[in-house]
Amino acid sequence: METFPVINMQKLNGEQRGATMELINDACENWGFFELVNHGISIELLDRVERMTKEHYKKCMEQRFKELVASKALEGVQAEVTTMDWESTFFLRHLPQSNISEVPDLDDEYRKVMKEFALKLENLAEELLDLLCENLGLEKGYLKKAFNGTKGPNFGTKVSNYPPCPKPDLIKGLRAHTDAGGIILLFQDDKVSGLQLLKDGQWIDVPPMRHSIVINLGDQLEVITNGKYKSVLHRVIAQTDGNRMSIASFYNPGSDAVIYPAPALVEKEAESKEIYPKFVFDDYMKLYAGLKFQAKEPRFEAMKAMEANVNPGPIATA
C-alpha cells in the first residue's frame, strides 16, 4: 500500500530541496493531494483557529443543524440520501473583497483570527503555485498570473463541521466531487477522520495529522497543466461519533480570468494535442454549480462546445 504523501516544507531550504520538489511533483501527478508540515503557519494560530471554530459551532450552528435534521426527518432514513450532505457550513470571502465583517454571528476576536489565518493561507497558496511552476518548467509567477482576472484571484473559505451521524452508510458527510477551482488548502480535525480520495479505483483515507495543511488540486490546474496534474474525486464519510472540523480555503482564478492550457506544456507534449478547452472561469463555475457531484469530463466537454461556438471553424494562418 502506497503511503499518503507528506511534504516537509523545511526541507525546501537545504540539500534535500531536489528530493522534496520531486515528492511534490509525484504527489501532483499521481495523487492530486498531499499534506504539508512545517508550512510556516504558527501552531499557536492554528490552535486559536481550531478552538474558536469549535466554540462558534457549539454556540451558533449546532442547534440549527439539529433543527434541520429534524425538519428533514434524516435520523430515520431507510434509503441512501443522494440530494444533501451531513454537514454544517458557512462561507467567508477574502479576495477580491473580504466579507468577514458582514458575516453574522462571528465575534470580533474570531473575525480577526480568521482574517489573519486567511492572509497566511493566501501567501502559502502563492508559494505553492510557484513551486508547481518550477516543477512544470513554467516561469515563476505564471500560475498566479493565469489566475489573475482584472481584480486578481478569488479566495474564500468554507468552514464546515460534520456532526455525529446515526446513518453514515446512508448519508455522506460530503458527496464525491472534484473541486472546480485552483488550489485548495485544508486545515482539518486531527482526531476525527472522514476525508477520502479516489486513487486507482480505491477510496483512501487522508490521514488526520495535527497542525498539518492538506493540499489538493482543482479542475483549473488540470486545464492549465494540460492534464499533467489532475483534480481528484474526494468525499467525506460521516462518522457515528465525534464532530469533525474542516476549514477549506479555495485559491481560485478571478471570475473573468481566461483559463487555457499553458502553451509551454502543450508544446512540450507535441504528440498530445491540446485536449483542454479555453474558457472564462465564471462560465465554468456557473456550469459547475449544477453539476458539482457529477464527473468533470462532461464539464470540460461543455466548455469545449462553448469555445467552438465562439470560434467556429479553423483559423487560416499565413
Check residue 270 and give its pLDDT: 58
The three cell numbers of residue 116 are 489573519
- Beta-carbon count within 10 A of 124 CB: 21
Q: Are strands 244-252 and 213-217 parallel, antiparallel or unpaired?
A: unpaired
Q: What are 149's strand-pairing partners?
A: 152
DSSP state letters, the chain: -PPPPEEEGGGGGSTTHHHHHHHHHHHHHHTSEEEEES-SS-HHHHHHHHHHHHHHIIIIIHHHHHHHHHHTTGGG--S-B-S--S-EEEEEEEESS--TTTSTT--HHHHHHHHHHHHHHHHHHHHHHHHHHHHHTPPTTHHHHHH-BTTB-EEEEEEEEE---S-TTTB-SEEEE--SSSEEEEEE-SSS--EEEEETTEEEE----TT-EEEEE-HHHHHHTTTSS----EEE---SSS-EEEEEEEEE--TT-EE---HHHHHHTTTS---S--EEHHHHHHHHHHHTTS-SHHHHHHHHHHHHHHS-SPPP--
Q: What pTM did the predictor assign?
A: 0.94
The three cell numbers of residue 250 are 479555495
Cα separation, 121 vs 128, in Å, equals: 10
How high is the mean pLDDT in each 10-residue block of the chain (318 residues)? 90 97 98 98 98 97 91 85 94 98 96 98 98 98 97 98 94 96 97 95 95 98 97 96 96 98 84 81 96 94 90 47
Where are the chain's structural domains?
6-308
Q: Assess whether the previous peptide bond of 96 is cis (omega < 30° from 0).
A: yes
Check residue 75 and give its pLDDT: 79
Give the homologous superfamily in CATH for domain 6-308: B-lactam Antibiotic, Isopenicillin N Synthase; Chain (2.60.120.330)
The answer to whether 301 touches 274, Cβ cutoff 8 Å, is: no
Cα separation, 15 vs 2, in Å, equals: 25
φ, ψ for residue 177, nearest 5 deg: -165, 160
Check residue 77 and give its pLDDT: 86
Sign of CA dihedral 223, 225, 226, 231: negative
Check residue 237 and give its pLDDT: 96
**Cα atoms in the Cβ-side hemisphere of radius 13 Å centred on 135:** 23
The answer to whether 231 touches 181, Cβ cutoff 8 Å, is: no
Q: How many residues does the chain have?
A: 318
Distances in whole angstroms, Cα of residue 4 to Cα of each of 148, 160, 188 = 31, 23, 16
